[in-house]
Every structure is written in C-alpha cells, then in structure tokens.
Amino acid sequence: MKLVFVILLFACQSGSLLGQSSPLRTVYLDERLIFLATDENSDQIDLVVLRTRAGTAGTFGNLANCVGQTLMCSVPTLTPVPATLSLADVFVHPACTVPCYQGIIPRVTTAAGLETILSSNGVSYTTAPLGREQRLIIYTFTAFPQSPFILNEQDSISVDVTGGLVDAIYIRLNDVTANTVLETFGAPTAITTGSEVSSYIIYVQHGLVFPVLHDTHSVEFVFVHEPGVNSLRTQYFLERGTCDETSGLCAIATATPVP
C-alpha cells in the first residue's frame, strides 16, 4: 500500500498510487501543489507531480531529481500550508504574553530590538523621525509573513517608537468588518466616537482599538498598544465620547465598564 504525502485529494491517472485512502496534507512550492508519494515501509519518494491553478499537471523540473531518493532530498522552498487562520492570529507570537505583532510588543520592545526582529526576518523598512529632538520615529514596513487579514502593501505596518521604546503598532487590515472583530474577540470594553464618520471598538484588556466606518462598518486598520486601563492610549480612546447613535454600533453589547 502507498502512503501519500499530499494535502489535496483529487482524481489522478495514477490511481494505483494515489487512489487509496491515505492520510493527506498539502504543501506549496511557488503557489503550485506538489505531491510526494512513498511506500509505507520506506521514506523513498516515488512521485513528484506539479498541478498548477489552471489544472495542468506534470513533473516539476528540479524536484524530478528527488524521485528514487529519500525524503531528505533538499527542497528548501517546500513549506506546509498553515491551518485556517483567524483575525486573532495576527496578534499572537511565541514571544508574547499579550497581543503583539511578530514579537514586537508595545512598551517592551526597544528600537534596537525592533530593528533586530525586522532584520532577522529579512524585512526592509523606512524610518521617519518626527517631533522635537526627533523623539518619535515611525518605522514602516510590509507585513511578514503575509496574512489574509493584512493589506499586502509596503506600508501595511507602522510602528511608533518614542524615546527608544515601541509605543504603538498600526496594522492596515484587509476585508475586516465590525462583525469580524466581534466574532473574534467578543464583547468590547467600550464603543466610543472616533470622528463624524467612524467609531472605535475598544478592547482594554488586549490593548486593541479598531476604528469602524459608520457607512460600511468596515475596519481598515487596528491600533495595538499597551493593554490595561493605565495605558495613556487607552485613556485617550475611552475619553473620545459615548457611542455615536448614527454609527449603527450602539446596540452592540459591551463588557463591564472599566472603572
């Protein structure tokens, strides 16, 4: 019997090899699906197939050399497809105990630490010093890795560094609505007025603020800052005013008010 290391099960002419019921997983190489089949008693690769999005299939050039070799055959660009993501995953990282972005933590990460994280991930960035004595420096860069919830643009992430310490992170979101936010994080701490056309959905315990447009209820970006009621940014957003009745958001149940 053959064991198939595939992520997608589909009809294939190699029915004797792929037609049996086997554990499956998907892998990508340059956005193409690669199928590796091995004997259950061996780690030898028997088949390498390319299937493009257009539906064509064939043997993938360099990987053809892997046939007859073991699974140790070097395929450095072969990476597993991530599990289904949620908006919350944007703010999760092994180095963080609070919401952050890729290990960048407001009021914890230094400017030097930020630059180390970006450099170690091969991320290029721009800086814009502002204010008296240039105490505020804004770092701008592209999201890494790419996420369906973040715009794939050069300035999708901005980080404010004040006095050598990360103060806040601004993330430009993609196809996110107020419903997405509420389904992900539950009842917010508060909903306050942002402007004549927007309101803020605030999660004090997470240090997250989502500005919502009144007409479409879309959320174009999120502020990530130090969590807790003592945060100056939290106080700023909470003091913006009560929910604007024209926003269509005031009926949303909020959590226990912050004392």
User: What pLDDT is recorded for position 67?
Assistant: 46
Domain boundaries, the chain: 2-80, 87-247
* CB distance 157 to 172 below 8 Å: yes
DSSP letter string over 12-33?
-S-HHHHSS------EEETTEE
| CA torsion, ordered 204, 210, 215, 220, to nearest 10 deg | 180
Question: pLDDT tens digits for 203-234?
Answer: 999 999 999 999 999 999 999 999 998 888 88
- Calculate ∠ Cα 103-109-114, nearest 5°: 70
* CB distance 211 to 194 below 8 Å: yes
User: What pLDDT is recorded for position 85?
Assistant: 82
CA 59 to each of CA 20, 33, 51, 204: distance values in angstroms, whole numbers, following the listed order: 21, 11, 9, 53
**CA nearest neighbour of 205 among 238, 183, 174, 176:** 238
pTM for the whole structure:
0.67
Average pLDDT taken over every residue of the chain = 76
Question: pLDDT tens digits for 94-117?
Answer: 999 999 999 999 999 999 999 999
For tokens 């995953």, what's the residue?
89
Q: Which of 33-37, 69-73, 235-239 has the highest mean pLDDT?
A: 235-239
User: What pLDDT is recorded for position 84?
Assistant: 56
User: What pLDDT is recorded for position 98?
Assistant: 93
Question: pLDDT tens digits for 111-165?
Answer: 999 999 999 999 999 999 987 767 899 999 999 999 999 999 989 999 999 999 9
* In the predicted structure, residue 249 carries a pLDDT above the cut 80: yes
Higher pLDDT, 161 or 43: 161
Average pLDDT over residues 62-73: 45
Question: pLDDT tens digits for 171-186?
Answer: 999 999 999 999 999 9
Question: Predicted confidence band at 88 (pLDDT cuts at 50, 70, 90)?
Answer: very high
- Quick check: helix, strand or coil at residue 238? helix
* In the predicted structure, residue 72 carries a pLDDT above the cut 80: no
